[in-house]
Amino acid sequence: METVYKKPRLLNDVTMHYCPGCGHSLVHKLVAEVLEEMGVEERAVGICPVGCAVFAYRYVDIDWIEAAHGRAPACASAVKRLWPDHLVFTYQGDGDLACIGTGETIQALNRGENIAVIFINNAIYGMTGGQMAPTTLMGQKTSTCPYGRQADLHGFPLHITDIAATLEGTCYVTRQAVNNVANVARTKRAIRQAFQNSLDRKGASFVEVVSTCSAGWKMTPEQANQWMADNMLPYYPLGDLKVNGEKK
Amino acid sequence: MLLKGNEAIAHSAIRNGCDGFFGYPITPQSEVLETLAVLKPWETTGMVVLQSESELASINMVYAGGATGKCVMTSSSSPGVALMQEGISYMAACEIPGLIVSVQRGGPGLGTIQPSQSDYRQAVYGGGNGDYRVIVLAPNSVQEMADSVGEAFRLMFKWRMPVMILSDGAIGQMMEKVVLPPFKPRRTDEEVRQQCPWAINGLGLLSRKPNFVSSLELDAAVMEKRNRAMQEKYRAIEAEEVLYEEYMLDDAEYAIVAYGSSSRISMGAIDQLREKGVKVGMLRPKTLWPFPEQRIGELGRQCHALLTVEINEGQMVRDVRYAVAGQCPVEFFGHSGGVMPSPEEVVDKMESIINNR
CATH number of the domain bearing residue A121? 3.40.50.970
pLDDT the model gives residue B127: 87
Q: Determine the average pLDDT of the residues in B216-222.
A: 93
Residue A72 has pLDDT above 90, yes or no: yes
In the chain, the amino acid numbered B64 is A
pLDDT the model gives residue A1: 84
With respect to residue A43, please indicate whether it lies within any of the assigned structural domains. yes
- CB-defined contacts A:B, below 8 A: 119
pLDDT-derived band at B329, boundaries 50, 70, 90: very high
Quote the minimal CA–CA distance from A170 to chain B in Å. 17
Q: Give the pLDDT confidence of A175-207 residue by residue, as tens digits.
A: 999 999 999 999 999 999 999 999 999 999 999
Smallest CA-to-CA distance from A28 within A155, A187, A217 is with A187
Q: Which domains does chain B have, with CATH numbers?
A: 2-189 (3.40.50.970), 245-355 (3.40.50.920)
Q: Which residues pair with B254 in a beta bridge?
A: B280, B305
Is the reported ipTM for this assembly greater than 0.85?
yes
pLDDT the model gives residue A64: 97
Residue A71 has pLDDT above 90, yes or no: yes
Q: Give the pLDDT confidence of B277-286 residue by residue, as tens digits.
A: 999 999 999 9
Which A residues, 118 through 157, put their C-beta within 8 Å of a C-beta on chain B? none
- Tell me, yes or no, if A66 comes closer than 8 A to chain B by beta carbon: yes
What is the distance between the alpha carbons of residues A89 and A204, in angstroms, rounded to a whole number? 10
Q: What mean pLDDT, rounded, does chain A reach?
A: 96
Residue B177 has pLDDT above 90, yes or no: yes
H helix intervals, chain A: 23-38, 56-59, 72-82, 94-95, 102-110, 151-154, 160-166, 181-200, 214-217, 221-227, 233-235
Residue A174 has pLDDT above 90, yes or no: yes
- Please give the radius of gyration of chain B, using alpha carbons only, rounded to the nearest integer: 21
Contact B200 A65 (CB under 8 A): yes
With respect to residue A73, please indicate whether it lies within any of the assigned structural domains. yes
With respect to residue A4, please indicate whether it lies within any of the assigned structural domains. no
pLDDT-derived band at A248, boundaries 50, 70, 90: confident
Q: What mean pLDDT, rounded, does chain B reach?
A: 97
Quote the minimal CA–CA distance from A109 to chain B in Å. 12
pLDDT-derived band at B62, boundaries 50, 70, 90: very high
With respect to residue A1, please indicate whether it lies within any of the assigned structural domains. no
Smallest CA-to-CA distance from B330 within B287, B294, B290, B301 is with B301
Closest by Cβ to A61, choosing from B22, B86, B210:
B210
With respect to residue A17, please indicate whether it lies within any of the assigned structural domains. no
Contact B202 A66 (CB under 8 A): no
pLDDT the model gives residue A232: 97
Distance of CA B217 to the CA centre of its chain: 29
Q: Give the pLDDT confidence of A96-128 residue by residue, as tens digits.
A: 999 999 999 999 999 999 999 999 999 999 999
Q: Give the pLDDT confidence of B104-138 residue by residue, as tens digits.
A: 999 999 999 999 999 999 999 988 999 999 999 99
* Tally of structural domains, chain A: 1
Q: What is the domain range of residue A84?
A: 23-247
Closest by Cβ to A82, choosing from B57, B63, B70:
B70
Q: Give the pLDDT confidence of B187-199 residue by residue, as tens digits.
A: 999 999 999 999 9
pLDDT-derived band at B293, boundaries 50, 70, 90: very high
Q: What is the pTM of this model?
A: 0.97
With respect to residue A15, please indicate whether it lies within any of the assigned structural domains. no
Please list, in sequence order, all residues whose beta carbon lies within 8 angstroms of the beta carbon of residue A212, skipping any fewer than 6 positions away: A21, A22, A23, A122, A179, A221, A224, A225, A227, A228
**CB neighbour class for B235 (10 Å; exposed up to 12, middle 13-18, buried from 19):** exposed
Task: Report chain B residues whose CB lies below 8 A from the CB of A14.
Answer: none
Q: Determine the average pLDDT of the residues in B332-344.
A: 95
What is the distance between the alpha carbons of residues A96 and A125, in angstroms, rounded to a whole number? 9
Q: Determine the average pLDDT of the residues in A228-234.
A: 97
With respect to residue A55, please indicate whether it lies within any of the assigned structural domains. yes
